[in-house]
């Protein structure tokens, strides 16, 4: 090879993987490929030149394809892309979220998933879907109850979208599914909702793993619990694979680290709104319930940012000296969700991610999103299973983006 490392005739999927991995590790292509080969050599791994085994194990990961359904602004996508995946299909119907998604990922998502025929979705290895949570979230349920509306599966517009996922899985049989929702999904309707979801996935013949993860354990200064459901096709993985959810990282995130030094004045609450929020909290405290504004601790973590933050911002208020508290700016909301400079660089932006919608839409989008650090950690655990499956079975379960046959 001399001192030249020429990478020619490398299939696109491997090239994409090399490119994504070397960007994550901030290495040149040559540095990354050499390190990968050296690791294989140090570990005395079988190589292409070893007659006994004709596969070259990929030390850090494996290329794979995925679909991003109910994509929002791509919090799950960032994680699966960071873990080496290539997104082959996206669906998101909200035009403002589509605008952000297009700016960040250079792709226009397809619209309403209920109008897309499963057979028109390309073959993929991992189906990723953060399906709408309002029908199951505590806030969504109490609002629907107070208005006398149905919630959960009985909410016909949003509650049944899980079954659209089921329809797609039946037709496409992706080897892996990763679903995400609010923590309350598991306790909604006295556990009946979760029972229906789990039994549907099992009837589809998938191994099912689930766990509630808190984004605060993955480096963002926000308490945000979400349930992750990871499933493996039993036809592909005959024995239940050894899948483990990620462990919390050792970090103590602080709200003050995501705040802007001089936020514009209009984020400070008016006297009228501040008085109203205090009065509201007092009334509820007298009734013995804890609803009310949340004055955040700058050295700690915040409550969960909701998609309704744009209304009054009351769940996360920033205390200010000799002034009324203020709400987060959209940039701060982005960072609080972990859409930070590192994610921006990963997506090819020099500084931070561009915010291309109004404040209202931006709060909505961030409040609906998955924290990229969490999706990355989950995706990397999934990739470990894919790698093990690949090395143990000497065959790759990759489905091709264009065709459909397994390579």
Q: Residue 75 in 3-state DSSP?
A: helix
From residue 218, give the alpha-carbon distance in Å to each of 253, 327, 333, 372, 375.
9, 24, 16, 9, 10
Tell how far CA 152 is from the center of its chain.
22
Q: Which is nearer to ligand SAM, 76 or 213 (CB)?
A: 76
Q: What residues from 312 to 371 belong to the interface with ligand SAM (CB under 6 A)?
A: 368-370
Residues binding ligand SAM: number (CB under 6 A): 22
Query: Which helix (H) or strand (E) covers residue 307, if one does?
Result: none
Q: Which two tokens stand for residue 403?
A: 């065709």
Q: Is 155 a catalytic residue?
A: no
Tell how far CA 75 is from the center of its chain.
4
Considering 133, 155, 231, 396, which one is annotated as catalytic? 133
What is the rounded CA–CA span in Å between residue 126 and residue 189? 29
Sign of CA dihedral 119, 120, 122, 126: negative
Neighbours of 11 (CB within 10 A): 10
* Site mask for ligand SAM (CB under 6 A), range 102-131, x = bound: ----------xxx---------------x-
* Site mask for ligand SAM (CB under 6 A), range 6-45, x = bound: ----------------------------------------
Q: Which is nearer to ligand SAM, 182 or 397 (CB)?
A: 182
Q: Which is nearer to ligand SAM, 36 or 97 (CB)?
A: 97
Phi/psi for 117 (5° steps) reads: -75, 130
CB of 114 to ligand SAM, least distance (A): 5
What is the rounded CA–CA span in Å between residue 319 and residue 107? 39
Tell whether residue 70 is a contact of ligand SAM (CB under 6 A). Answer: yes
* Site mask for ligand SAM (CB under 6 A), range 132-171, x = bound: xx---------------------------x----------
CB of 92 to ligand SAM, least distance (A): 5
| Residues with a known catalytic role | 133
Binding residues for ligand SAM, rule: CB under 6 A, are 70-76, 91-94, 97, 112-114, 130, 132-133, 161, 368-370
């Amino acid at each position: 090879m001399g001192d030249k490392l020429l990478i020619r005739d490398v299939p696109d999927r491997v090239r994409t993987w090399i490119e994504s991995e070397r960007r994550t590790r901030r290495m040149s292509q040559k540095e990354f490929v050499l390190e990968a080969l050296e690791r294989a050599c140090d570990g005395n791994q079988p190589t292409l030149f070893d007659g006994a085994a004709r596969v070259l194990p990929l030390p850090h990961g494996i290329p794979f394809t995925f679909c991003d359904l109910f994509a929002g602004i791509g919090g799950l996508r960032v994680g699966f892309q960071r873990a080496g995946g290539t997104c082959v299909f996206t669906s998101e119907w909200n035009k403002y979220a589509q605008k952000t998604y297009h700016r960040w990922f250079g792709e226009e998502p397809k619209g309403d998933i209920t109008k897309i025929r499963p057979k028109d979705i390309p073959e993929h290895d991992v189906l990723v879907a953060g399906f709408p949570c309002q029908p199951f979230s505590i806030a969504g349920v109490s609002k629907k109850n107070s208005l006398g509306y149905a919630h959960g599966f009985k909410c016909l517009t949003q509650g049944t979208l899980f079954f659209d996922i089921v329809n797609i899985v039946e037709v496409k049989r992706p080897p892996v599914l990763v679903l995400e929702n609010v923590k309350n999904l598991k306790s909604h309707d006295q556990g009946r909702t979760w029972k229906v979801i789990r039994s549907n996935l099992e009837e589809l013949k998938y191994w099912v793993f689930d766990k509630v993860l808190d984004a605060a354990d993955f480096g963002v200064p926000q308490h945000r619990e979400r349930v992750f459901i990871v499933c493996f096709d039993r036809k592909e993985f005959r024995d239940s694979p050894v899948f483990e959810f990620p462990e919390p990282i050792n970090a103590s995130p602080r709200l003050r680290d995501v705040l802007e030094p001089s936020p514009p004045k209009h984020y400070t609450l008016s006297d009228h709104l501040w008085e109203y929020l205090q009065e509201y909290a007092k009334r509820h405290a007298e009734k013995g319930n804890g609803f009310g504004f949340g004055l955040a601790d700058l050295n700690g973590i915040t409550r969960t940012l909701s998609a309704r933050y744009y209304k009054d911002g009351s769940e996360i208020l920033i205390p200010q000296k000799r002034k009324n508290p203020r709400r987060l700016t959209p940039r701060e909301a982005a960072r609080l969700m972990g859409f930070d400079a590192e994610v921006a660089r990963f997506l090819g932006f020099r500084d931070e991610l561009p915010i291309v919608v109004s404040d209202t839409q931006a709060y909505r989008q961030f409040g609906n999103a998955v924290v990229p650090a969490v999706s990355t950690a989950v995706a990397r655990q999934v990739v470990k299973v894919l790698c093990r499956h690949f090395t143990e079975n000497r065959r790759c379960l990759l489905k091709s983006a264009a065709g459909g046959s397994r390579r």
